[in-house]
């Protein structure tokens, strides 16, 4: 995604290395070679930096691991292992908000369910004015994050603007556990299930959310695995069993070429499945996506996935710490390589907002409704952080031209000779000019007068709210 997110969807490059499948027996201790011992003693005796055994041990470990040229094999100290586990389980100390930035204002994009922020009364769309009395005007998300950090149990005051009101909330910092899965019905029988990570409880959380969607009349399912960097293999296996009656999740090949299929025996679903993926979808995300794609159970929408097709195991080191070591490569059920290749979507779509819209339409969604502004877009109830979508000039609302064309399902082009923006749908052509104020340019990005969309396309409706948001609705498929 092309936006900053705090406390959610951890860096894919980090989680991509977190595909852990159980543990191995502790490694036996071994003596260093005589030459290595001699060099160590001479360095400790003579080097100007006065290196210690611990310093040289760390350097030796780093050197051995670096020589493998494997970014996923790592040594963790006890403290680092704790942090790695917290990362996998998405546990942190904070107040539980997700932030986005738009026009130099930091907004609360989302509030984690059950978090201190939710209990205190903070809401999505709140503009952050101050933290502990210090103004956040002109500050970045990173600035707000640093200002709000603190020890568990301590309090922090957030000043926000909600509509025309200025409010102050006191929030107690606590250990927050990000929900692995969340869901929402988007309308027209389309269910949306977002899986952030393959934590140790991911499968049970996924099953719970899926059951709730089914009870609400689910007719087609969108599973969002974008920027999900992976986690535990057994969780991907359990989730796959909710869609595959008899098959395999993947083929695991060890260093001797031995194939260990990961069997899946479960059930099938009567509805179609669409999976949203991007370059941050890695590891266990690719395991699940690749299996459902190979079996024809799901189609992938988005961009090519990360390409992490190897499996690590956690090995306790007798002298302390843990070694995460690559032990196997995996292939999809059809025998396709994933490592350094990735998965190719069935429908290639760029942009996080556009991917969600495409998923809704592909899943049979008819009435598309977007609320834009405050650094986010809400697509049929599902929030996406994305700044700069709408702006107001001289009392007129403008929407980013590319998005407006997408909402209207029109083709977008530019007539350089006439210096006009052109939207084409059903053989009808519509033109807008910057010269006439029908469109404006901001930092090289064009925005279209939102009234024109409604005029040109009768199925597109719009409205503006006093809180600075604009709602667009496309009812073409419902007509």
Q: For residue 119, is pLDDT > 80?
A: yes
Q: What local confidence, expressed as pLDDT, does residue 30 receive? A: 45
What is the length of the chain?
479
User: Residues 239, 333: one domain?
Assistant: yes
Residue 52: pLDDT band (50, 70, 90) is confident
Q: For residue 478, is pLDDT > 50?
A: no
Span of 56-65, 121-130, 157-166, 380-389 with lowest mean pLDDT:
56-65
- Kindly report, residue by residue over 318-341, the tens digit of the pLDDT: 888 898 989 999 999 999 999 999
Q: Six-digit token pair at 54? A: 């611990």
Task: Tell me the average pLDDT across 43-61.
Answer: 81
Residue 358 lies in a domain: no
Residue 157 lies in a domain: yes
* 233: Cα separation from own chain's centroid: 19
Task: Tell me the average pLDDT across 276-304.
Answer: 97
User: Residues 463, 347: one domain?
Assistant: no
Task: Tell me the average pLDDT across 293-312.
Answer: 97
Answer whether 411's CB lies under 8 Å from 425's CB.
yes
Residue 18: pLDDT band (50, 70, 90) is very low
Tell me which residue of 476, 222, 474, 221 sits closest to 369, measured CA to CA.
474
Distance CA 281, CA 196 (A): 10
Tell me which residue of 277, 274, 272, 195 sits closest to 239, measured CA to CA.
195
Q: What local confidence, expressed as pLDDT, does residue 22 receive? A: 46
Residue 212 lies in a domain: yes
Q: What local confidence, expressed as pLDDT, does residue 34 receive? A: 76
Percent of the chain residues topping a pLDDT of 70: 92
Of residues 410 and 55, the one with the higher pLDDT is 410
Q: What local confidence, expressed as pLDDT, does residue 177 receive? A: 83
Q: Six-digit token pair at 163? A: 């509509």
Distance CA 301, CA 360 (A): 11
Task: Tell me the average pLDDT across 313-320.
Answer: 87
Among candidate residues 177, 197, 219, the one where a domain is terminated? 177
User: Residues 336, 296: one domain?
Assistant: yes
Answer whether 383's CB lies under 8 Å from 356's CB.
no
Residue 219 lies in a domain: yes
Residue 7: pLDDT band (50, 70, 90) is very low
Q: What local confidence, expressed as pLDDT, does residue 308 receive? A: 95
Among candidate residues 137, 155, 177, the one where a domain is terminated? 177
Residue 6 lies in a domain: no
Residue 31: pLDDT band (50, 70, 90) is very low
Q: For residue 10, is pLDDT > 80?
A: no
User: Residues 300, 401: one domain?
Assistant: no
> CA of 272: how far to CAs of 10, 363, 365, 378, in Å?
29, 7, 13, 24
Which residues does residue 368 pair with via DSSP β-bridges, in sequence order? Answer: 474
Q: Six-digit token pair at 461? A: 């409706």
User: Residues 331, 225: one domain?
Assistant: yes
Q: For residue 4, is pLDDT > 70?
A: no
Distance CA 186, CA 385 (A): 17
Residues marked as catalytic: 283, 294, 308
User: Residues 346, 244: one domain?
Assistant: yes
Neighbours of 287 (CB within 10 A): 28
> CA of 42: how far to CAs of 38, 54, 351, in Å?
6, 15, 57
User: Residues 382, 236: one domain?
Assistant: no
Tell me which residue of 233, 131, 227 sits closest to 173, measured CA to CA.
131
Mean pLDDT (the chain) is 89
- Kindly report, residue by residue over 142-172, the tens digit of the pLDDT: 999 999 999 999 999 999 999 889 999 999 9
Which residues does residue 431 pair with via DSSP β-bridges, in sequence order? Answer: 422
Q: Is 122 exposed, middle or buried (0-12, 13-18, 19+ CB in 10 A)?
A: buried
Q: For residue 228, is pLDDT > 50?
A: yes
Among candidate residues 134, 157, 177, the one where a domain is terminated? 177
Q: For residue 473, is pLDDT > 80?
A: yes
Residue 16: pLDDT band (50, 70, 90) is very low
CATH number at 142 reads 2.30.42.10
User: Residues 197, 165: one domain?
Assistant: no
DSSP strand pairing (298-302 vs 273-277): parallel
Distance CA 77, CA 85 (A): 12
Residue 84: pLDDT band (50, 70, 90) is confident
- Which domain, by its residues, includes 110? 91-177
Q: For residue 220, is pLDDT > 50?
A: yes
Distance CA 49, CA 105 (A): 47
Answer whether 315's CB lies under 8 Å from 23's CB.
yes
Answer whether 390's CB lies under 8 Å from 102's CB.
no
Residue 228 lies in a domain: yes
User: Residues 145, 53: one domain?
Assistant: no
Residue 362 lies in a domain: no
User: Residues 138, 70: one domain?
Assistant: no
Give the three-state DSSP class for 238.
helix
Span of 29-43, 174-188, 374-388, 422-436 with lowest mean pLDDT:
29-43
Q: What local confidence, expressed as pLDDT, does residue 477 receive? A: 53
Residue 50 lies in a domain: yes
The DSSP annotation for 107-138 comes to: EEEEE-TTSHHHHHT--TTPEEEEETTEE-TT
Q: Is 441 exposed, middle or buried (0-12, 13-18, 19+ CB in 10 A)?
A: exposed
User: Residues 63, 194: one domain?
Assistant: no
Tell me which residue of 55, 74, 54, 78 sits closest to 64, measured CA to CA.
74
Q: What local confidence, expressed as pLDDT, does residue 449 receive? A: 96
Count of domains for the chain: 4
Tell me which residue of 195, 298, 288 sits closest to 234, measured CA to CA.
288
Which residues does residue 23 pair with via DSSP β-bridges, in sequence order? Answer: 314
Distance CA 197, CA 227 (A): 9
Q: Six-digit token pair at 155? A: 């309090």
Q: For residue 53, is pLDDT > 90?
A: no
Q: What local confidence, expressed as pLDDT, does residue 262 receive? A: 96
CATH number at 287 reads 3.90.226.10
- Kindly report, residue by residue over 57-78, the tens digit of the pLDDT: 888 888 888 888 899 999 998 9
User: Residues 231, 144: one domain?
Assistant: no
């Amino acid at each position: 995604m092309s936006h900053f997110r705090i406390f959610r969807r951890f860096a894919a490059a980090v989680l991509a290395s977190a595909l852990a499948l159980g543990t191995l027996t502790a490694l036996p201790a071994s003596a260093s070679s005589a030459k290595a011992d001699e060099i160590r003693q001479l360095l400790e005796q003579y080097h100007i930096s006065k290196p210690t055994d611990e310093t040289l041990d760390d350097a030796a470990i780093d050197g051995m691991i670096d020589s493998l040229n494997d970014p996923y094999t790592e040594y963790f100290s006890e403290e680092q292992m704790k942090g790695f586990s917290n990362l996998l389980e998405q546990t942190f100390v904070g107040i539980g908000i997700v932030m986005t930035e738009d026009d130099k204002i930091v907004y609360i994009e989302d509030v984690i369910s059950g978090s201190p922020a939710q209990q205190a009364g903070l809401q999505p769309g709140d503009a952050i004015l101050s933290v502990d009395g210090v103004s956040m005007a002109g500050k970045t998300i990173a600035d707000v994050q640093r200002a709000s950090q603190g020890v568990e149990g301590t309090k922090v005051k957030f000043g926000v603007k909600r509509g025309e009101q200025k409010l102050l909330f006191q929030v107690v910092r606590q250990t927050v556990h990000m929900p692995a899965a969340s869901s929402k019905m988007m309308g027209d029988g389309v269910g949306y299930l977002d899986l952030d990570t393959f934590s140790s409880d991911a499968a049970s959380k996924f099953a719970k959310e899926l059951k709730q969607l089914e009870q609400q009349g689910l007719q087609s399912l969108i599973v969002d695995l974008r920027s999900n960097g992976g986690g535990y293999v057994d969780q991907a296996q359990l989730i796959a069993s909710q869609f595959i009656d008899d098959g395999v999740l993947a083929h695991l090949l060890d260093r001797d070429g031995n194939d260990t299929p990961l069997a899946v025996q479960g059930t099938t679903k009567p509805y179609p499945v669409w999976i949203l993926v991007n370059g941050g979808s890695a590891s266990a995300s690719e395991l699940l996506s690749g299996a459902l794609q190979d079996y024809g159970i799901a189609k992938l929408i988005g961009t090519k996935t990360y390409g992490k097709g190897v499996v690590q195991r956690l090995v306790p080191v007798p002298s302390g710490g843990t070694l995460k070591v690559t032990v196997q490569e995996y292939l999809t059920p059809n025998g396709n390589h994933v490592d350094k290749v990735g998965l190719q979507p069935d429908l290639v779509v760029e942009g996080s907002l556009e991917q969600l819209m495409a998923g809704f339409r592909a899943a049979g969604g008819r009435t598309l409704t977007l609320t834009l502004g405050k650094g986010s877009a809400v697509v049929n109830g599902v929030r996406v952080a994305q700044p700069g979508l709408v702006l107001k000039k001289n009392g007129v609302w403008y929407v980013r031209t590319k998005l407006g064309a997408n909402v209207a399902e029109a083709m977008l082009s530019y007539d350089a000779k006439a210096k006009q923006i052109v939207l084409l749908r059903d053989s009808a052509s519509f033109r807008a000019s910057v010269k006439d104020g029908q469109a404006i340019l901001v930092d090289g990005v064009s925005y279209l007068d939102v009234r024109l969309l409604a005029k040109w396309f009768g199925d597109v409706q719009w409205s503006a709210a006093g809180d600075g948001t604009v709602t667009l609705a496309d009812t073409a498929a419902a007509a």
